[in-house]
Every structure is written in C-alpha cells, then in structure tokens.
Structure 1
Amino acid sequence: MRTALTIAGSDSGGGAGIQADLKTFSALGVYGMSVITAVTAQNTQEVRSVQSIDPGIVGAQIDVLFEDMPIHAVKIGMLSNPDIIKVVANRLEYYRPKNIVMDPVMISKGGHSLLEERAISLLTERLLPLATVLTPNIPEAETLTGNIVESHEDMELLCEQLQARGSESVLLKGGHFNGNPDDVFYNGREFTWLKGERIITKNTHGTGCTLSSAIAANLAREEELLDSIKLAKQYITGAIKESLEIGKGHGPTHHFHSLYKDAGVTMERREKEAK
C-alpha cells in the first residue's frame, strides 16, 4: 500500500486543509496520514478563528509517523507561524522523504490571513529548498517574490525566481489570471504550459489543497512528476465540475466524484433527492 502524509491545518468545514487532503488520498488509492499544525473554526463563508498547535506536538506527530511507517510522499499546507515552520523544516531535513509537495497556504478563500507576515521569509529560506514541487497560486507567488503578474511571461518569470530560491520545480496555478486559467510548470530547464478550463461555480473551496494533495498521491504511486501534475489537474477539474452545493458560501469540491459516478450517484440524482 502506498502512503502519503499531509502536514497542514484542520478545516472544521471539511472542504480544505487536512480533511480535503485525506479525502483526496483516499479517492486516489493512497493510505493517508496527517500532522495537524493548526485548528481553524471555519465554514463555507469565513474563517472565524485559528489556533496554532504547539510546535513540540507538531514535531512529535512527524516523528511518531516516520519512526513507524513508510511515507512515500509528503504534502505541506498551512504552517501558521515561524516556530512551526522551523520544526517542520528540521524534521523533514532529518528524515529526507523522497517527494515533498509544498502548497504555500497564505490566505483563505474568504480573505483571512493564514500565515503570519514574519513567517514568509522563513518559509522561503527553510522549506523551499526541500520541495520537490512548489504549487502557489498567482497571489501567493506575488507575495513570495514581490512581483506582479500581468501576462504569461510574468508567470514564467516568477517560476524562475521561485525555483532559483531552492525548490526543485514550480507549478504556478493560473486560476487568478484574467484570461484562460492555464497553469505553468517549470523544472529549472523548460516550461510546460497546462491548459485550464474555466468552470463557472462558486463552489471552489479547497481547490488548492486538493490539487497539491492529488500531486502528492500520484507521486506516492510512483508516477513521474509531470504526469502526477497532469493527473491531478484532471482530478481537480472533475471535482470542481461535480462540486457540492453545501453551505451558504463557497462550497467544497467533490473529492469522491469518480466513485459516486461508478456507484451511479450522478449530480442529477443528487439534486432530485435533495428536493
């Protein structure tokens, strides 16, 4: 059985963070484990409050898993403060897992800051050099580099800047781009543009978490990196198309959309049963 570990925050609403990651791992046939870095009180409309976990407990969670189980890929999500970043970096430097997917979670869908300002430089210095692939969206990449994206050329420039800071490769997501939501992957040698499909829905909570955890799951299954990214994009596109109308705000994507289809539970049937 292939395994993957998520190091991230808990989303009480179940659409993002640890919950989204574990659902994604399960949907893609990988045994999932978790290290919780923060507990959030949130729903589809807001992040009401955040409580960071004691850094010692974060480190203990990492140790107890690596000491006992094979871990074929690690996904890093929300790391809210410098002390947690230091602990995660120290433990991963020690254990050296083969595959690390880093999603630099900074701001929630509703605009709530999830990363302290003083932690950004430390995240860049300590964790970027450990990443197999970094998966920022455009606002996150702009924050990390201090530059603005207005064109595809700008996206490629930011990829180069981020990769030069230590990450083995970069996948810059284009969902916030004004034109087509195309992503660009840079491996330090060449760019690969990945066509995106603009899906009209407000239910996109947890898309970044889900994409990065899908990449980690595919890497855990020993897919090549670019293939892992392409498969993950197919998966998240289906999850958004079949997204769930849950809550009053940004609803979650449907992590088990393929399994529901296999079971004959279609969107039309769900809507009929809901009436």
Structure 2
Amino acid sequence: MINSTPQVVTIAGSDSGGGAGIQADLKTFQARQAFGMSIIVALTAQNTYGVQSSLPIASDFIDSQFNSLAEDFSIKAAKTGMLADTEHVLTVVENLKKVEFGPLIVDPVMVAKGGHQLLEYDAVQTIKEQLLPLAVVVTPNLPEAEILLGKSITTDRDMIEAAKSLQALGTKNIVVKGGHSQNKEASDFVLLENGESFWMSTPRIKTPNTHGTGDTFSACIAAELAKGTQLKEAIVTGKEFIQAAISQEIFVGHGHGPTNHWAQIQNSVTIHER
C-alpha cells in the first residue's frame, strides 16, 4: 500500500492571498482527490488588489526540494506555474530531467491579473526552447500565447494556428484558452498529439472573482492525470471544474477575488468543432 494514493506536485510561486499559485494548486488537488505536494520557486506578497512584491527562492534550495520529494514519494503528475526568470526556469528544467514525476503540465504564467510581471521577459525564450518540449500539455491564455509566439491572436482561426505553432515547438498537446477573447462564450481550443482537435465552450460569467483561474484549470488536469484519467477526459474535466469554481462564487477581498475551490461540477462542457 506504500505510495498507492495518487500524488501530484506543483512547481510554482506562493500566493500569500491564497487565490492563485501554489495555494490554488494544492486546493485543487485536494478537491480532485489527489495528494498534493509543492516545490516553491518564488514567494509573493499579494492580495486581491495585486502583487506587491516577489522574492525568488535560491536555486540550490529548489534543488533540495526536488531531491526531497524524489527520495520518498511516487509522484504521478507535475505542473509548473510562476517560474520568475531564466535562472529559475533552467533550474526547474534541469531537475525535471533527473526525476520521474509523470506527465508535465506547463501553465506559462507571465503576468498577474493586476498587471505585475511574474516572468522576466528574457526567460520567455528559455521556456520555449527548454521547458515546453518537456510538457505533455501546455495551457496558455491568449496574452501568454501571443508572447510565446510574438504575434497577435484575435480570431478563432488565430487560436487554431497558435496551437499548431506551439505544438511545433515540441509540446505534444495544447490548450489555447479563450477567456480573454471577445467571443460570446468562453471557448478554448484543444489540439492533441494524435491530430484530434476540438473546442470546449462554456457560458461567460460576469464576475470579478477570477483570480487564479489558469492555475486552477491546469492543476485540475494534473490531478486527473495523476489519478490515471485519460488525457482528453482530464482536459475536459479541467474546463468543467474551473467553470464550477467561477460560477459558484465566493467573496474574499476587495479586488479580483479567488475562484471557489470547493465548487462541485454541475454542468457539462460543450464540445464541438467549428
């Protein structure tokens, strides 16, 4: 029975306000019945107003966290979030190559909702060249996809082409999230390694409480993969879970409030082609 419980790790920054980052990931893992662990890459002082300060963790201590987890646990999936700068991206990449943490989900976190930069610009190329090829799934929103590819993404056709371009960088499966689009529905485009593609659509919800949506979505996918869920089902479950977390509101803080990590999935996602 040793290590028989599904285990998953988040490699990201800590959010002192509890709505995003490591905290959102751990809450999501728990909600999806996977045992969550963390490797903290950076600390932040933040609340629902935004990020007031950030402090990267020493690279040798990140190494120590990786080593500690690898020595004891049977981690079946991992996800990355805030990675701060080139040095820390490379530290994470080097460690991921040494350990067996299962499929990797990369949420290419770059800017907080309040506008605070969470990734130094010169680290973008390192993520493209070093981290994305290690990922089983990458889950950029439209602004992140635009930065990764260096081009504007405004239409459905643009999202499709962006997914193809990201796949060409070496990532097997892509979810280009459409929450920042002007479409009536919140529609994400999924391109799988086997060539299958589809859209996932849910009704838009007018609310300021969307802090940590990207973290929560990718963390749910990671938890599902750690439990052995098939990839497509894991991605759809991630969409269902974040829709529930947004629609079943909680009210915390004065600014961009967090999503509800104890929400229960109630409605299915519309899957379709266009």
Whether these two folds match at TM > 0.5 is yes
* Cα distance in 2 for residues equivalent to 1:78 and 1:137: 14
User: Which residue is 1:82 aligned to?
Assistant: 86
* Cα distance in 1 for residues equivalent to 2:169 and 2:114: 29
* Cα distance in 2 for residues equivalent to 1:124 and 1:60: 25
User: Which residue is 1:185 aligned to?
Assistant: 190
Establish whether residue 29 from structure 1 lines up as the match of residue 33 from structure 2. yes
Q: Deviations over 1:9-34 (max 9, x none)?
A: 00000000000000000011000000
* Cα distance in 2 for residues equivalent to 1:106 and 1:231: 24
* Cα distance in 1 for residues equivalent to 2:187 and 2:202: 4
User: Which residue is 1:125 aligned to?
Assistant: 129
Which one-letter code corresponds to 1:247 in the other structure?
G
User: Which residue is 2:271 aligned to?
Assistant: none
* Unaligned segments of structure 1, at least 5 residues: 262-275
User: Which residue is 1:144 aligned to?
Assistant: 148
User: Which residue is 1:201 aligned to?
Assistant: 207
* Cα distance in 1 for residues equivalent to 2:153 and 2:90: 30
The structure 2 residue matched to 1:67, chosen from 56, 66, 71, is 71
* Cα distance in 2 for residues equivalent to 1:114 and 1:197: 29
Normalised by the length of structure 1, the TM-score is: 0.92
Within 5 Å, which residues of 2 pair with 1:101-116? 101-116=105-120
More strand by share: 2
Is the contact between residue 183 and residue 196 of structure 1 (CA under 8 Å) also seen in structure 2? no
User: Which residue is 2:269 aligned to?
Assistant: none
More helix by share: 1
Is the contact between residue 77 and residue 104 of structure 1 (CA under 8 Å) also seen in structure 2? yes
Establish whether residue 167 from structure 1 lines up as the match of residue 171 from structure 2. yes
The structure 2 residue matched to 1:254, chosen from 260, 263, 269, is 260
CA shift at 1:165, angstroms?
0.3
Aligned residues: 260
User: Which residue is 2:272 aligned to?
Assistant: none
* Unaligned segments of structure 2, at least 5 residues: 267-274
User: Which residue is 2:24 aligned to?
Assistant: 20
User: Which residue is 1:50 aligned to?
Assistant: 54
CA RMSD of aligned residues (A): 1.3
User: Which residue is 1:239 aligned to?
Assistant: 245
* Cα distance in 2 for residues equivalent to 1:55 and 1:243: 37
CA shift at 1:94, angstroms?
1.6
CA shift at 1:96, angstroms?
4.0
* Cα distance in 2 for residues equivalent to 1:48 and 1:106: 16
Which one-letter code corresponds to 1:102 in the other structure?
V
Q: Deviations over 1:165-204 (max 9, x none)?
A: 0111100100001012100111141321111220111100
Is the contact between residue 156 and residue 191 of structure 1 (CA under 8 Å) also seen in structure 2? no
* Cα distance in 1 for residues equivalent to 2:26 and 2:243: 18
The structure 2 residue matched to 1:223, chosen from 225, 229, 244, is 229
Is the contact between residue 74 and residue 101 of structure 2 (CA under 8 Å) also seen in structure 1? no
* Cα distance in 2 for residues equivalent to 1:212 and 1:257: 16
Which one-letter code corresponds to 1:233 in the other structure?
K
CA shift at 1:149, angstroms?
1.1
User: Which residue is 1:155 aligned to?
Assistant: 159
* Cα distance in 2 for residues equivalent to 1:153 and 1:118: 28
What secondary structure, in the 3-state scheme, does the structure 1 residue paired with 2:166 have? helix
